[in-house]
Structure 1
Amino acid sequence: MQAFAQQVQEQPDQIFLRQPKGGVYTEYTWQQAYDMTLRLANALLAMGLKPGDRVALLSGNCAEWFIADFAIVAAGMIPTPIYATAGDDVIRYVIEHSESKAIFIGNVADTDMALTAIPNGVTTISMAQGPEGAENTFSDLIAKHEPLSDVASPDLSDTWSIVYTSGSTGNPKGVVLTYGNISYSAAVSIRLFSNGEKGRFLSYLPLAHVTERALVEYSSLYSGATVSFTESLETFINDLRNANVTSFISVPRLWVKFQSQVLAKVPQRKLNTLLKIPFIGAKVKKKIRTQLGLDNCLTFGSGSAPISPSILKWYQKLDIPISEGWGMSETIGLATTNYPFKLEKLGTIGKAVEGFEVKTSEEGEILIRGAGIFKEYYKNPETTAESFTEDGFFRTGDKAEMDADGFVTITGRVKDLFKSGKGKYIAPVPIEAKLADNQLIEQICVMGSGLPAAIAVVVLSDEVANGMSQAEIEESLTETLEAVNKVVEKHEVVGGIRIAKDPWTIENGLLTPTLKVKRAELEAKYMDFCAQPADKPVTWES
């Protein structure tokens, strides 16, 4: 909270938070946001909550999320975020496991379900778009209480937050992060990405994931940046344009969507021709950046899942150099990055950021230690102990290769390896990256445990496939399949491509809240489809 108070002192009347509704923005200055934070913190203590109590947050991104998060900290309590897309079983588990005493509820898909999932005895606080049946409302609590005078002043070793992982199997683990962790991460991101001016961010990736909190929420607190929010999926591009961002971090699926939208208006062949023409090429690049809302953006990033190097090359030709990064909840987000952008290092996740030390084990697993490593798994000392080497390196579970310059290339998850019917282990991620060079492919999962050969299940990009015949799509995918099979190891040859009829989403349980594919669920859904004999390389789900 010292960083917050310092921003108020230096720029009290400058805009901090911008919340859209119906196309109109409600803006909060640093002074207003700080005053609301301290009033809400006082309200929490007045309810009988005590320093050290856990307080849950269940909402999509909004200005009130920031203020609630800061208020919990100002009162000496511990924020415990829950993904806004979580089902009732996950909501109930996180609240009970963390022993949260209260919960803020905002804009979630099913507010009635969210309320019924909350155990008895947990105090409920409704945000602006939250349920009507909550015991308290955000606005009333602020209106009825004076600002807290005795703001908590924690030590760096104290627990800042418990972040529950969005893992694809079993109950989520509670990652205990300290004030030392978050202050380190925010400070490093500012030193790494600062360009000498006050930043402008758009907060839209889940705040329940620590990367958004570290690189956007707390980075803004330390740097004095302005943060805008989105209103809906339908208004996303307009919201992005309105935010006029200086830094934009996204996930591969959104970068692919943006690419598809551009190619739907300007086919690749025509785009290639235009970019070769002096002056015209520059105008085309600027127009595309402007339409995407990235015309004044200075830094671009991609993370959460692997992205095809061909997509990164495509954007680089448009003067949009996307630096791939990697991190986990346990590393408080960003731990490696290809920033400053190096074209020759495309396909890597970069090298360790300042304060981290990275190496690989004999088995190729990424091992990491440093100032951003979490404290422990909440109430799980056995798993905590198993997760560290004797010399203090965290076992990440990701397999990788490291070059002489320290740049890391992910080759898959340790647990993602599967054994084909021929008894050979196959790492799906590198194969997926090669196949995803085809712009028709929006989502992909290579599977094949026990099958004679690996099979790639894909979801097509509607924008790119629009107007193409089934025969043209099959021909394009077949060419890509043959090209990939020429460069992979013999036992990694892909036996065919299966086209799924429905997209994979968080709502249908096939993606995690951070948009990673849930391999176990996808295999359960499509393994029979993959095992069916096919008389041609590309087949469609009926």
Structure 2
Amino acid sequence: MNTLRSDFQKGRTLLDYFYYWERQQPKKVYLRQPEGDRYRDYTWREVGKQARVLATYLNSLGLPPKSNIGLLSKNCAHWIIADLAILLSGHVSVPFYPTLTAGQLRQVLDHSDCSVLFVGKLDKWPEMKAGVSPHIHRITFPPQTGETMPPDPDATPWNDILEHYEPMTDNPQPHSEDLFTIIYTSGTTGSPKGVKMPYRAMISAIDATLPQMRVNVPDPRFFSYLPLCHVAERNLVEALSLITGGTVYFVESMATFARNLAAARPTHFLGVPRIWLKFQQNILKKIPQEKLDRLLKIPLVSSLIKRRLRMALGLNNARLILTGAAPTPIPIIQWFRQLGIHIQEAYGMTENLGVVSVMPAHAIKDGTVGLPYPGIQLRFDPLTSELLTRSDWTMRGYFREPDMTATTLDTDGWLHTGDVGSLDEDGYLTITGRVKEIYKTTKGEYVAPAEIETGFAENNYVDQICVAVQELPQPIALIVLSETGMQADKEDVSQSLEETLRSLNPQLHTYQRVKKAVIVKDPWTVDNDMMTPSLKIRRKIIESRYQPHLQPWLERDETVIWEG
């Protein structure tokens, strides 16, 4: 059992934690990379050796001190090893989303001024490669089993570096004000922004959040599948595994997700709304809701069903189950709670390291995002109710964007989050939408689409939803059907959506009521740019895609419309 020393929990960098576990448990497996039915295991000693050799190589390149070094790969063991190598070499880690197009990659590489780029597990590297300038030195990860990515003759192979360089032997200690990383946001609106985070910010965030993170559970295990370049995954998987000395299991592909998760049986798990919806739909395909309700009313059977479902998902050993990145509908959280899966909502943004509030495990208050962490201050704009935060882990600013920084971070250190919210009498935080996503109808009324969208959460035929408001007299719900919905009778789907609208609309103001539900043909994905890599919808792009059809749909007689 790894138990974190009580005298080791304050004021330490992630490198300090790494040095500790590298020395304390060198033979214990740290990273587990699936390769078909087998795993390639990396012990703390092996991770340390490879990271230290790569750090030696980076230092041999003669780069200016504290250079920005890029990291482009899907989640895998080498991602974390490369990240550690960058930190060990004294440079700044700049990870990018592995789903970028060539043009998007060129934009962030040019903006970040990266001189070196680690290139790893990618689906479309030949196309993406066009976005990398010739002057950027590339280092390629070793190929993995079953990988189709062709070798890059212009890059330096990882394994060649391991063969020809020696590991660094010292343990560098960065200054607290040095930059630890630049995190590029996923660009829900506009171009991605490079959030500058110093080591001090990460140290402060760790110290504030550790009491809530169940760091002393026996044999901590983590499951990595959301993009590691996103602040939430980097915190819960990379940072927390370094802090606890735990083991990280990776997903091989989304096709093997269920099998990989069941094998990992993580003690700490982070889901996003789309994942929880998929879990629910898969369960209901095997046990329809009516049958599940009956079984859960029988005491002995109920316990057995809950245990088997948690086992089937791979969450039977989970001690901390978080949801974040986007609001998770209350009915989904309550549904899982009936199965003994207690999901704690967490809230934050890249600009404050994702650390604002978390739902207490034993004092859950549905409809809120929990209580603020110790050390963070909150206040609200008196006119717009925009949430402002201030803490020791607030970003230093946006890289090479002084005007944008001045707009978001005021001279008193208050971060303007862009989220609308409030605190209740018990100190719980509620987020109701985005300042920029409150739209005016043609009748002059303001509507927050996100609030309306949660009303469709209990309809199992709905997979994705975007309520369109702008330049319309009444909202329209654009809907992508779930797998269950696609297999159901068309008339049943229409009737179900009509029932949802009849139930939802009376709870809304007249100007908020959804006039039509339109079932669109094509799903919204990262590949078609309708979703961010962190699986949030890109509202403006979706509305733009359907804008020519919105008014004609609104004028049709039927309530539920099928595109095409």
TM-score higher than 0.5: yes
Cα 1:466/1:458, change in 2 over 3 Å: closer
Partner residue, 1:415: 436
Give the ranges of 4+ consecutive aligned residues of structure 1 lying more than 6 Å apart after TM superposition.
Answer: none
**Deviations for 1:262-304, whole angstroms, at most 9, x for unmatched residues?**
0001000000000000110110011111111111111111111
Aligned: 1:453 with 2:474: yes
Structure 1 residue 188 displacement after superposition: 3.8
State the distance in 2 between where 1:372 and 1:19 align.
Answer: 32
RMSD: 1.4
Alignment partner for residue 558 of structure 2, among 531, 536, 541?
536
Aligned: 1:479 with 2:493: no
State the distance in 1 between where 2:310 and 2:130 align.
Answer: 44
Contact 1:199–1:246 (8 Å) recurs in 2: yes
Aligned: 1:196 with 2:217: yes
Structure 1 residue 131 displacement after superposition: 4.6
Structure 1 residue 435 displacement after superposition: 2.2
- The residue identity in structure 2 corresponding to 1:413 is R
Structure 1 residue 193 displacement after superposition: 1.7
Aligned: 1:142 with 2:162: yes
Alignment partner for residue 369 of structure 1, among 390, 410, 413?
390
Structure 1 residue 339 displacement after superposition: 2.8
Contact 1:365–1:399 (8 Å) recurs in 2: yes
Alignment partner for residue 35 of structure 1, among 31, 49, 65?
49
Structure 1 residue 29 displacement after superposition: 1.0
**Deviations for 1:367-407, whole angstroms, at most 9, x for unmatched residues?**
11112211111111121122124432100001112211221
SS in structure 2 at match of 1:31: helix
Contact 1:185–1:214 (8 Å) recurs in 2: no
State the distance in 1 between where 2:63 and 2:161 align.
Answer: 14
Partner residue, 2:325: 304
Partner residue, 1:67: 81
Cα 1:15/1:188, change in 2 over 3 Å: farther
SS in structure 2 at match of 1:324: strand
Contact 1:51–1:75 (8 Å) recurs in 2: no
Q: Which moved more, 1:232-241 or 1:144-153?
A: 144-153
Aligned: 1:360 with 2:374: no
Alignment partner for residue 408 of structure 2, among 382, 387, 391?
387
Partner residue, 2:371: 351
Aligned: 1:396 with 2:417: yes
Aligned: 1:291 with 2:330: no
**Deviations for 1:214-255, whole angstroms, at most 9, x for unmatched residues?**
221011111111101011111111111111200111110010
Cα 1:367/1:503, change in 2 over 3 Å: same
Q: Which moved more, 1:379-388 or 1:273-282?
A: 379-388
Partner residue, 1:441: 462
State the distance in 2 between where 1:390 and 1:137 align.
Answer: 46
Contact 1:106–1:131 (8 Å) recurs in 2: no
SS in structure 2 at match of 1:300: strand
Contact 2:462–2:485 (8 Å) recurs in 1: no
Partner residue, 2:539: 519
After the TM superposition, which residues 238-257 of structure 1 pair with which residues of structure 2 at under 5 Å, given as runs? 238-257=259-278
Unaligned runs of 5+ in 1: none
Partner residue, 2:59: 45
Structure 1 residue 50 displacement after superposition: 3.6
SS in structure 1 at match of 2:81: helix
Partner residue, 1:160: 180
Alignment partner for residue 132 of structure 1, among 133, 151, 163?
151
State the distance in 2 between where 1:352 and 1:78 align.
Answer: 29
State the distance in 1 between where 2:113 and 2:487 align.
Answer: 54
Q: Which moved more, 1:285-294 or 1:46-55?
A: 46-55
State the distance in 2 between where 1:410 and 1:433 align.
Answer: 13
Alignment partner for residue 432 of structure 1, among 438, 453, 465?
453
- The residue identity in structure 1 corresponding to 2:433 is G
State the distance in 1 between where 2:403 and 2:369 align.
Answer: 30
Partner residue, 1:316: 337
State the distance in 2 between where 1:247 and 1:472 align.
Answer: 39
Contact 2:209–2:373 (8 Å) recurs in 1: no
- The residue identity in structure 2 corresponding to 1:42 is T
Q: Which moved more, 1:178-187 or 1:369-378?
A: 178-187
State the distance in 2 between where 1:503 and 1:144 align.
Answer: 48
Contact 1:17–1:28 (8 Å) recurs in 2: yes
Structure 1 residue 47 displacement after superposition: 2.2
Q: Give TM-score, length-normalised by structure 2.
A: 0.93
Q: Which moved more, 1:126-135 or 1:235-244?
A: 126-135
Partner residue, 1:496: 516
State the distance in 2 between where 1:189 and 1:227 align.
Answer: 20
SS in structure 2 at match of 1:494: coil
Structure 1 residue 150 displacement after superposition: 3.9
Contact 2:22–2:48 (8 Å) recurs in 1: yes
SS in structure 1 at match of 2:549: helix
SS in structure 1 at match of 2:476: strand
Unaligned runs of 5+ in 2: 1-14, 144-148
Count of aligned positions: 540
Contact 1:498–1:530 (8 Å) recurs in 2: no
Cα 1:524/1:250, change in 2 over 3 Å: same
- Identity value in percent: 37
Q: Which moved more, 1:22-31 or 1:309-318?
A: 22-31
Q: Give TM-score, length-normalised by structure 1.
A: 0.97
Partner residue, 1:22: 36
- The residue identity in structure 1 corresponding to 2:61 is M
Structure 1 residue 466 displacement after superposition: 5.3
Aligned: 1:117 with 2:131: yes
Contact 2:397–2:409 (8 Å) recurs in 1: no
**Deviations for 1:409-465, whole angstroms, at most 9, x for unmatched residues?**
221111111111111111111111112222221111111212120111111111x32
Aligned: 1:171 with 2:185: no
